[in-house]
Amino acid sequence: MSKEFLSEIQLRSFLGPLDWFVFFLVLAVTLGAILWGHCRKQRASNEGPDFVDYLLMGRRLSLPLFVATLVATWYGGIFGVTRIAYEYGIYNFLTQGVFWYLSYLIFAIFLVSRARSFEALTLPEMVGKMFGPKSRYLAAAFNFFNVLPISYAISLGLFAQLLFGGSFFVNMSLSVAAVVLYSIWGGFRAVVFSDLIQFFVMCSGVALVVIFSFAEFGGLNFLRSHLPEAHFHWAGELGWGEALVWGFIAMATLVDPNFYQRCFAANSTRTARIGILVSTGVWVVFDICTTAGALYARAVLPEADSGFAYLLYAVQLLPEGLRGFFLAGILATILSTIDSYLFVAGSTVSYDLFPGQWQSLVKRMRLSLVVVAVLSVFMAMVFDGNIKLVWRTLGTYFAACLLFPVMFGFLFPKKISDHLFVGASLVGVVVVTLWRWSPYSEAVAALYPGLVSTSLVILGSLWLSRIRADKA
């Protein structure tokens, strides 16, 4: 190696004046995009109901904006993803990439037009139109806990702590508060326009790490000679049983509220479908870059803290100026996700859990954003900053209890009643909870019995109904 790389560094000591200039320049450009979005909002305010503009940008989301905001929303847990790649190799590309691509393609090909046909503003509202009012409230409750941006609040707090020093809690609280302010002010339009800048910066940042790594160390031969053999096995050290858990969690994309929000906001069904397909191609490239970058980090810094190894490696690898740009890209990756999740969680509270008059929706939405932010920071401390644990816990409940009922509702409309949807989902909650506390939880992930129980309740109920109908 021509450079000396250290496993532990003071991040700020590696940053020069040019790095800080570039970093804050990107933040200024992002703020400018938010201001531009706010100006556009002012122009659009007289063209339609304010709540539709606030929640869905007036359903005017064009293809470039659709792709930018959808791609940018998906990578806020970059420290979690690069940690998995650092520890387990290409297992990360399978569990955090390939499984998700399949879900995206299914959504684009089979679900976009069906979802838009309900003309809903939120996923819970769509579920209510499919099954009934009780189902809407239950879906809203699941939706709320699934989109609480706990892991992204953790990522933002860790990043700010590394960059500026101080306590994790203070950094996280102040950073989340800043995101809440611009989300309250500009609504979904502010989220989308900030995502446009963040999309470019985050994609460029991870690509730079791969380009400079290849130039510095070479390609696959270097990685194979410096990494464990298991890092090049798809199932890694954890096996296929563990990998498939991530597969089912990825399938929860089919009931992910951020996907539905973008599809509902698109200016046409064609825009939504093509946008998802284009976004999938971008995600493939992005995941290749993050996985490869984390593998280089493991090869060069084998003793580093796996949670921060990718960041520490990149800062030592890149020249001045590009270091600042890369750090802005990491921040953009986190911000573009946490603002989207905050916004969806806030809309779930104000529009689905506590619906009221349209005239007060925006005010209730703004209050909800504050409540969601406070709860997210609190839960981040409860989970002790463990991003992977947050994903596994909340993702398991969401996938086990909602995935099969909603997909069944798409395939066989009007077959599932309001009471059956609620009953099956609640059985899933009970089974997942009991299984997590059972002695079998180490051998078999709670997601599997949760999915099986939810499916059996629905299929069993429909079978009994058919028997009764035949006897009658």
Write the pLDDT tens digit of every residue in 285-339.
999 999 999 999 999 999 998 888 999 999 999 999 999 999 998 888 888 888 8
Q: What is the CATH number of the domain that holds 327?
A: 1.20.1730.10
Burial of 269 (0-12, 13-18, 19+ CB in 10 A): middle
**Shared domain check, 469 and 408:** yes
**Shared domain check, 467 and 354:** no
**Amino acid at the residue 205:** G
Minimal CA–CA distance to 79: which of 247, 329, 310?
A: 310
**Shared domain check, 364 and 438:** no
pLDDT tens sequence across 198-208: 899 989 999 99
Task: Name the token pair of 287.
Answer: 């995941």
Instruction: Please report the pLDDT score of residue 280 as a whole number.
Output: 94
**Shared domain check, 402 and 376:** no
pLDDT tens sequence across 359-398: 577 778 888 889 999 998 988 888 776 666 676 677 778 7
Whole-number percent of the chain with pLDDT over 90: 42
Residue 165, domain member (yes or no): yes
Angle at which helices 63-73 and 322-347 pack, to 10 degrees?
A: 100
Task: Name the token pair of 457.
Answer: 């309740």
User: Which DSSP helix (H) or strand (E) runs through 169?
Assistant: helix 168-217
Contacts of 153 (CB under 8 A, 6+ apart): 172, 175, 176, 338, 373, 376, 377, 380
Residue 101 has pLDDT above 80, yes or no: yes
Last residue of a domain, which of 351, 385, 419? 385
Residue 301, domain member (yes or no): yes
Provide mean pLDDT across the span 468-472. 73
**Shared domain check, 364 and 437:** no
**Shared domain check, 407 and 303:** no
**HSE, side-chain direction, 13 A CA sphere, residue 265:** 30
Alpha-carbon distance of 168 to 342, in angstroms, equals: 20
Least confident interval from 279-283, 299-303, 356-360, 433-437:
356-360
For Cα atoms 351, 51, 399, give the angle at the middle one, nearest 5 degrees: 40
**HSE, side-chain direction, 13 A CA sphere, residue 472:** 6
Residue 4 has pLDDT above 90, yes or no: no
**Shared domain check, 274 and 242:** yes
Task: Name the token pair of 98.
Answer: 């390939």
**Shared domain check, 390 and 378:** no
Residue 132 has pLDDT above 90, yes or no: yes
**Shared domain check, 333 and 212:** yes
- Residue 357 φ then ψ, to 5°: -70, 145
Between the CA of residue 432 and those of 140, 404, 454, what are the distances in Å? 19, 15, 10
When comparing pLDDT for 335 and 215, which is higher? 215
Instruction: Please report the pLDDT score of residue 391 as a whole number.
Output: 64
Residue 105's pLDDT band, with cuts at 50, 70 and 90, is: very high
When comparing pLDDT for 423 and 403, which is higher? 423
Q: What is the pTM of this model?
A: 0.85
Last residue of a domain, which of 341, 362, 385? 385
User: Which residues, in sequence order, are bridge partners of residue 61?
Assistant: 266
Burial of 134 (0-12, 13-18, 19+ CB in 10 A): middle
Last residue of a domain, which of 366, 385, 404? 385
Q: Residue 411 region, left (φ>0) first, then alpha (ψ -120 to 50), else beta?
A: alpha
**Shared domain check, 422 and 380:** no
For the chain, how far is it from start to end, CA to CA, in angstroms?
80
Tokens 């030592």 identify what position? 316
When the pLDDT of each residue in the chain is averaged and rounded to a whole number, the result is: 86
Residue 48's pLDDT band, with cuts at 50, 70 and 90, is: very low
Residue 4, domain member (yes or no): no
For Cα atoms 300, 302, 308, give the angle at the middle one, nearest 5 degrees: 90
Q: What's the structural domain count of the chain?
A: 2
Residue 136 has pLDDT above 70, yes or no: yes
**Amino acid at the residue 197:** I
**Range of 216's domain?**
11-385
**Shared domain check, 378 and 390:** no
For Cα atoms 264, 270, 273, give the angle at the middle one, nearest 5 degrees: 75
Residue 163, domain member (yes or no): yes
Residue 47's pLDDT band, with cuts at 50, 70 and 90, is: very low
Q: How many residues comprise the chain?
A: 472
Residue 41 has pLDDT above 80, yes or no: no
Alpha-carbon distance of 11 to 272, in angstroms, equals: 40
Instruction: Please report the pLDDT score of residue 145 as a whole number.
Output: 83
Instruction: Please report the pLDDT score of residue 49 as a whole number.
Output: 46
Alpha-carbon distance of 23 to 29, in angstroms, equals: 10
Residue 46 DSSP SS3: coil
User: Which residues, in sequence order, are bridge partners of residue 266?
Assistant: 61
**Shared domain check, 340 and 403:** no
When comparing pLDDT for 223 and 253, which is higher? 223
Provide mean pLDDT across the span 5-17. 84
Instruction: Please report the pLDDT score of residue 165 as a whole number.
Output: 83
Tokens 């804050």 identify what position? 24
